[in-house]
Amino acid sequence: MKERVVRVRGDGQLLDTLLTHFPHIGRNKVKAWLTRGQVKVDQQTVQRYDQPVRAGQQIQVEMGKAGGELSIHAKQRLSIVYEDDEVVVVDKPAGLLSVATEDKTELTAYRLVTEHVRKMDTKHRIFVVHRLDRDTSGIMLFAKRYETQQWLQDNWNDVVKERRYVAVVEGRVQKQEGVIDTWLKESSTRTMYVSSPGDGLRAITHFRVLKRSSEYSLVECQLDTGRKNQIRVHMKSIGHCVVGDKRYGATRDEIGRLALHAASLAFLHPTKPEKVLRFESEIPAAFRKLFS
């Protein structure tokens, strides 16, 4: 296993320090090191992006961690919230991919949940129902059967009774609550943007301000539609980018991650449609600290 050791040159936060020492490594890859438990500061494993570091401290990075070796820290941070014969509900940490991309060896929520269900039977499979962005934390749903996945996805708008997110956005949102109703389209660079009415896909977000300060607002968002990056684009469209969202114009990144969290999900049970399952995940402490 290849290991790199560097000395911190100046006081700051761990993620920024790593990016300075490894300028040719992408930001997402460095975040993956942290999520996988590949980074140690003075011999202690650290996963927080915003961990303070001081000049002179030693950072160790396991550069060549084998793809099949799963970090115990990542397992601990991915919580199984609920499980039955049809579905698995998890609480996903920020920094963990939902499913694999080009890098098939990268640790994902899908991979961890698959390992979990195969402890009972090596033939068990899971199926992705919906995804969260890598840097979005919170409640996520998997199906245990293909038929269950298809029923949930085909009837999503009727099945889902609540899909609530919380976000910390830049600036003081003056309006206490409101509805953002636009059309969204994807650019050639795979970035979403607000398009003209009728061009693209309609997206509707209901928002309500929970807390305010002179610099930030804690906003609750309810989705009528589930478009790619919907909340991130809609918050930008009203002049309040999600903290840490450089892709969509944010200038603040105090907590070292995208300040977006899937706080609750309520849906009809696949085999007992008269039964509504509802799950919540606490607002991350890092969000709250910005208002203390």
The two tokens of residue 267 are 């849906």
Domains of the chain in sequence order: 3-62 (3.10.290.10), 78-289 (3.30.2350.10)
Provide, rounded to the nearest whole percent, the portion of the chain with pLDDT above 70: 93
User: Could you tell me how many helices (H) and strands (E) the chain has, helices first?
Assistant: 8, 17
Taking the C-alpha atoms of residue 146 and residue 129, their distance in angstroms, rounded to an integer, is: 10
Helix axes 14-21, 27-36, angle to 10 degrees: 120
pLDDT at 105: 63
pLDDT at 261: 97
Strands 192-195 vs 201-212: parallel, antiparallel or unpaired: unpaired
Residue 58's DSSP bridge partners are 7
Residue whose C-alpha is closest to residue 229's, from 218, 217, 241, 220: 241
pLDDT tens readout for residues 89-128: 999 999 898 987 665 567 899 999 998 888 878 888 999 9
pLDDT at 67: 40
Strands 39-41 vs 192-195: parallel, antiparallel or unpaired: unpaired
pLDDT at 22: 87
Q: If you write DSSP's letter for every residue of 171-224 in order, what string do you get?
A: S---SSEEEEEEEEEE-TTS-EEEE-TTSSEEEEEEEEEEEE-SSEEEEEEEES
CB count within 10 Å of CB 214 equals: 6
Q: CB–CB of 127/137 below 8 Å? A: no
Residue 23 has pLDDT above 70, yes or no: yes
pLDDT at 102: 60
- 3-state DSSP call for residue 164? strand
pLDDT at 32: 76
Distances (CA, A) of 290 to 211, 214, 253: 10, 11, 11
Q: Which of 31-40, 138-147, 164-173, 227-236 shows the lowest mean pLDDT across its residues?
A: 31-40
Residue 185 has pLDDT above 90, yes or no: yes
Provide, rounded to the nearest whole percent, the portion of the chain with pLDDT above 90: 67
Residue 201's DSSP bridge partners are 184
232 vs 274 pLDDT, higher one: 232
CB count within 10 Å of CB 27 equals: 12
Provide the CA 104 distance to its chain's centre, in angstroms. 19
Q: Which residues are catalytic?
A: 133
Q: CB–CB of 241/169 below 8 Å? A: yes
pLDDT at 64: 59
**Considering the chain, what is the average pLDDT of its residues?**
89
Q: Residue 242: which pLDDT band, with cuts at 50, 70 and 90?
A: very high
pLDDT tens readout for residues 30-76: 887 887 778 999 988 888 888 999 999 999 998 754 444 444 445 44
82 Cβ contact list (under 8 Å, min separation 6) = 88, 89, 277, 279
pLDDT at 243: 96
pLDDT at 1: 52
* pTM of the shown model: 0.74
CB count within 10 Å of CB 84 equals: 13
Residue 236 has pLDDT above 90, yes or no: yes
Taking the C-alpha atoms of residue 24 and residue 197, their distance in angstroms, rounded to an integer, is: 41
